[in-house]
Structure 1
């Protein structure tokens, strides 16, 4: 129950009651009541379960140090910078990470298994909602439940990864591979070029990791099924988005080199970093210094955003956080790197790759959560030497 509630809180994002026509002060941001219920549920569960230490706490501290530094940077923001909502976002990320670390310390693989299954269910819900014709943006890009196309593509690709996870976990039952073409179709229909590139990056990383273990004979049947279902899907539903794909991916991107102003944002962030190389412009300082107008509040690239607003100090902490997570994951013996942990790592890598093209600090929360689930595990019981046991018995 706590895991399900934590997932809802993490997935909900900045959903407000205003979207459904309700305006209630304080609780307008649904994170407020959801966090209160989540923390209360976690406290009750901890009371029954007792204290259970986990390994990988250093990785959590590395991420919290980065978030703490970003919060501290409000001290040197330019005059007139709005920082309240951003500080709230950082606190929300920190709270979620502490919750997931506590859950993983109890039973990492079970918590991760439930989380991945919930992602799979969410992917189906998002896909069916968008396929029904609802949630699309003005240009026809697929989206769902008030989130944008760049959120939608993340859920679609994670849905595909969790399909592979369920396939392997079930003893390679082919039925779990059937949704993959649908989720890939949804990813393309989102029009998110960054999401597609992030998928390519994740596939490349995965192939490098599993290359020595590739068994092409074993992969033939699954690939044939995915290709067959994908072909049927393209023939039946492809014409509905064919013109859109042509204009978005081919004409605009390849023909015109359209980059959705990302090139402008990236250059501006680099310029601000070069002007303030040590501490940066402070939290949300990019929006104030760049003066690009309403709507361009963030860089859409996590490292560049931290460089512009946190300077070299922020970049060092970002790299340290990533390295800490990687070292915690690598410190696990190969036998203890469960399927759940490896799947969470690939999902986290994918979200991290999308953070190079879209989203702000709060949109990176799923990356931190998934990488943390891959890195943290319950502490192993310490073996007591036989001589010590004998001494204790005699005493």
Structure 2
């Protein structure tokens, strides 16, 4: 009998549980135990316990990660420069600005980015693959929870598991992107596309116009990227499958979603010009930027100066928020951070630009698109994480051959 093959002594074990823990810590966000009716001092913010566990896990696994630098790791410098500058801006914020919670959010964002950077150094593609699978599972959990009627907003918009409609739509569209990823990775097995009509239904039911606009932005970027390889014989079958499933969804729940689209997207937006006060927020942000163009108002200065009420504490647009509170310096750092990620990504040899990296890039682009319409600095954390996973990879040892791209042919298309 042939003895089982032994693993190479140079082959490092792949990360597992620490990736799941990092994902839970990322997706949980600012979840507090008071939502469950509990009040535990200090530990009431679940980030405290989750981040401590993450630190412990990384310390225990540090010998597996190694000390070799990751290729593309330079893209983290402008991101941390931006976050550090925003924290420093608390020193010139208005005296009535409450800066503590926002400083904590920025520090938490930096911590999560650093965690995923170390995981990417360990095994980028495996970490990204696990993260994409976990987003797909989360999308199902959110959809089923919302479909059961739990967590809906007071106006009927779909939400679930303690998050609002704008959080819900992000998870739904990430579920769509991961469905396409799993379809490509499996070799065009159609059943991976089956969740897309359901997730799109959930996205529409969330009533998030910004989330749907961000989907349009991501779709345009994707079409421009894969256009050279698009062939009718490649897309006819999956498109036909999605059309049939969409018709089935429309026949079973079309009246509900049609009424919702009519009232939320058509009548409110087009007929009444309802913008959820985004026009007011954006104009205030521009006004503050022109008043203090160099350094801005400082962190949380928008809320302190504009004083638009508790419901409008931030701009709901990442670049405008950075412009108002960080001025031209902050905007420059934001642009440099995005440029650094793009530069690190395109410098990756095409043979090493895996399907996982491309899917992660599209996820990051989508969350970046939603950051133009909703959310604050901490809500952009998934954008930074997914773009870092797309741009950073373990440095190849000298003399080692680049891995062959054996995934689905679509994955060879440049993003």
Of residues 234-243 and 302-311 in structure 1, the stretch that sits farther from structure 2 once superposed is 234-243
Whole-Å separation in 2 of the counterparts to 1:300 and 1:111: 30
Map of 1:378 onto structure 2:
394
Whole-Å separation in 2 of the counterparts to 1:182 and 1:306: 35
Whole-Å separation in 2 of the counterparts to 1:154 and 1:270: 26
Map of 1:303 onto structure 2:
319
Instruction: Give the drift of 1:15.
Output: 0.2
Whole-Å separation in 2 of the counterparts to 1:6 and 1:85: 21
Residues 140 and 244 of structure 1 are in contact (CA less than 8 Å); yes or no, is this contact kept in structure 2?
A: no
Which secondary structure state, in structure 2, belongs to the residue aligned with residue 242 of structure 1? helix
Which secondary structure state, in structure 1, belongs to the residue aligned with residue 312 of structure 2? coil
When the two structures are superposed, what TM-score results if normalisation uses the length of structure 1? 0.96
After superposition, the C-alpha distances for 1:57-113 in whole angstroms (9 at most, x for unaligned) are: 111111011000000000000111100000000110110011100000111100000
Match status 1:100 vs 2:116: yes
Whole-Å separation in 2 of the counterparts to 1:344 and 1:171: 19
Whole-Å separation in 1 of the counterparts to 2:239 and 2:223: 15
After superposition, the C-alpha distances for 1:172-196 in whole angstroms (9 at most, x for unaligned) are: 1000000000000000000000011
Instruction: Give the drift of 1:49.
Output: 4.3
User: Which consecutive residues of structure 2, in runs of 5 or more, have no partner in the other structure?
Assistant: 1-16, 401-415
Residues 52 and 106 of structure 1 are in contact (CA less than 8 Å); yes or no, is this contact kept in structure 2?
A: no
After superposition, the C-alpha distances for 1:208-238 in whole angstroms (9 at most, x for unaligned) are: 1111110111100101111111110111022
Whole-Å separation in 2 of the counterparts to 1:218 and 1:332: 27
Which secondary structure state, in structure 2, belongs to the residue aligned with residue 136 of structure 1? coil
Instruction: Give the drift of 1:50.
Output: 3.2
Map of 1:81 onto structure 2:
97
Instruction: Give the drift of 1:281.
Output: 0.4
Which secondary structure state, in structure 2, belongs to the residue aligned with residue 187 of structure 1? helix
Match status 1:293 vs 2:309: yes
Match status 1:174 vs 2:182: no
User: Which consecutive residues of structure 1, in runs of 5 or more, have no partner in the other structure?
Assistant: 385-395
Residues 126 and 152 of structure 1 are in contact (CA less than 8 Å); yes or no, is this contact kept in structure 2?
A: yes
Map of 2:347 onto structure 1:
331
Whole-Å separation in 2 of the counterparts to 1:238 and 1:45: 50
Over 4 Å off, 4+ runs: none
From the superposition, tell whether residues 244 and 52 of structure 1 become closer, same or farther in structure 2 (CA, over 3 Å): same
After superposition, the C-alpha distances for 1:101-136 in whole angstroms (9 at most, x for unaligned) are: 000011110000000000000000000000111111
Which secondary structure state, in structure 1, belongs to the residue aligned with residue 95 of structure 2? coil
Number of aligned pairs? 384
Pairing of 1:1-395 with structure 2 (within 5 A) = 1-383=17-399
